[in-house]
């Protein structure tokens, strides 16, 4: 469990995306935010152009024509060496195949979309329509693999949890890391089983905290100045949620709905579905550890004290 000295979690929603405009983050890195803002994407998906005389395109995002034009303008006449993805949820990857076809640039990521575990009988994957199941990479990245694009060195950091093939990308020699959806400053990350895994997500948080990257650049929202401190706060937040669930179940809560009423009494309706999905991921994690029990029927999950 998190220590009492863990930093408090404070979200930053003051980000100005300057949608459709190429914003220079540092030398060899530009951000262009897509026009797909919403309850789960905040101000929209951040696409990134990395490199100097030639470039790579990270997370080309949705298929909106205006976003494609903004990316083309930012690339200018430079050669596009590769398109690569932090993961294969469609708000990041929907246009990737079209970019590959139009430019001939290869597509690099951590393998086809896959579930974090096999589905249970009659289990529904709530994110199935948001996943790019048919997309295959021309080059598959592995954890710790280093490469160069446009004169900028990058290292792939395997961070499963939000989904099984999630990657962050560390920028060589800078202390900066593109953190995808793994760590975002505007909100905590959605983890929905069986697409994602709470056990994997918590392990990936602990992993990045120990890496030599101090500044995180997420795929939604603005930069996080002290990434490891913020990741520790996220970890403490998740561990608090585990304790709240255990206490609620021991006090008689027997369903996800009962947990929602107890833990999120004032949550906006648009976010209750996401909260329920993440609670199920916590429940699965706690069940595996023996902290709570469950009884699963074809259409009902009953929660029980350990």
Decide if pLDDT at 285 tops 80: yes
DSSP codes joined into one string, 134-171: T---SEE--TT-EEEETTEEEEEEE--SSSTT-EEEEE
- Mean pLDDT value across the chain: 96
Q: Are residues 137 and 227 in the same domain?
A: yes
Q: Which pLDDT score, from 0 to 100, does residue 3 have? A: 47
Bond from prior residue into 86 cis (ω within 30 degrees of 0): no
Decide if pLDDT at 304 tops 70: yes
Q: Which pLDDT score, from 0 to 100, does residue 299 have? A: 79
Q: Please name the residues in contact with 278: beta carbons below 8 A apart, sequence gap of 6 or more.
A: 188, 190, 191, 192
Asked which of 195, 210, 237 is the last residue of a domain, the reply is 237
Q: Please name the residues in contact with 49: beta carbons below 8 A apart, sequence gap of 6 or more.
A: 22, 29, 30, 32, 55, 56, 57, 58, 71, 74, 75
User: Given the structure tokens 């001939």, which residue do they identify?
Assistant: 104
CATH number for the domain that contains residue 123:
3.60.15.10
pLDDT for 26-61, tens place per residue? 999 999 999 999 999 999 999 999 999 999 999 999
Mean pLDDT along residues 212-238: 98
Q: Into how many domains does the chain fold?
A: 2
Q: How confident is the model at residue 2 (pLDDT cuts 50, 70, 90)?
A: very low
Domain membership of residue 57 as a residue range? 23-237
CATH number for the domain that contains residue 250:
1.10.10.10
Q: Is 193 inside a domain boundary? A: yes
Q: Are residues 210 and 132 in the same domain?
A: yes
Q: Are residues 231 and 244 in the same domain?
A: no
Query: Tokens for 272?
Result: 């209750």
Q: Are residues 128 and 29 in the same domain?
A: yes
pLDDT for 121-134, tens place per residue? 989 999 999 999 99
Q: Which pLDDT score, from 0 to 100, does residue 78 have? A: 98
Q: How confident is the model at residue 5 (pLDDT cuts 50, 70, 90)?
A: low
Q: Is 116 inside a domain boundary? A: yes
Mean pLDDT along residues 84-111: 98
Asked which of 213, 237, 261 is the last residue of a domain, the reply is 237
Mean pLDDT along residues 263-280: 91
Q: Are residues 161 and 281 in the same domain?
A: no
Report the 10 Å Cβ neighbour count for 36. 21
Decide if pLDDT at 88 tops 80: yes
In this predicted model, which residue has the larger pLDDT, 251 or 269?
251
Q: Is 111 inside a domain boundary? A: yes
Q: How confident is the model at residue 1 (pLDDT cuts 50, 70, 90)?
A: very low
Q: Do the Cβ atoms of 263 and 257 come closer than 8 Å?
A: no
Distance CA 281, CA 258 (A): 16
Q: Are residues 233 and 243 in the same domain?
A: no
Q: Is 300 inside a domain boundary? A: yes
């Amino acid at each position: 469990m998190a220590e009492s000295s863990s930093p408090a979690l404070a979200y930053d929603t003051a980000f100005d995306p300057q949608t459709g405009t190429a914003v220079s983050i540092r030398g060899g890195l530009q951000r262009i935010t897509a026009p797909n803002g919403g309850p789960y994407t905040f101000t929209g998906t951040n696409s990134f152009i990395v490199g100097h005389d030639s470039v790579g395109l990270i997370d080309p995002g949705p298929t909106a024509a205006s976003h494609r034009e903004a990316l083309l303008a930012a690339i200018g006449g430079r050669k596009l060496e590769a398109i690569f993805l932090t993961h294969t949820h469609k708000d990041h990857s929907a246009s990737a195949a079209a970019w590959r076809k139009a430019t001939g640039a290869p597509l690099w990521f951590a393998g086809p979309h896959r579930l974090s575990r096999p589905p249970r009988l009659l289990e529904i994957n709530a994110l199935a329509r948001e996943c790019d199941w048919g997309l295959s990479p021309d080059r598959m990245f592995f954890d710790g693999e280093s490469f160069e694009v446009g004169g900028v060195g990058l290292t792939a950091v395997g961070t499963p949890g939000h989904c099984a093939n999630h990657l962050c990308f560390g920028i060589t020699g800078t202390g900066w890391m593109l953190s995808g959806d793994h760590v975002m400053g505007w909100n905590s990350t959605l983890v929905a089983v069986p697409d994602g895994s709470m056990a994997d997500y918590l392990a990936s948080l602990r992993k990045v905290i120990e890496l030599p990257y101090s500044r995180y650049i997420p795929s939604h929202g603005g930069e996080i100045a002290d990434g490891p401190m913020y990741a520790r706060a996220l970890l403490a937040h998740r561990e608090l949620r585990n304790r709240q669930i255990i206490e609620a179940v021991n006090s008689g809560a027997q369903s996800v709905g009962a947990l929602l009423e107890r833990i999120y009494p004032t949550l906006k309706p648009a976010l209750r579905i996401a909260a329920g999905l993440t609670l199920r991921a916590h429940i699965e994690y706690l069940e595996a550890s023996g902290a709570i029990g469950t009884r699963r029927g074809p259409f009902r999950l009953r929660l029980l004290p350990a």
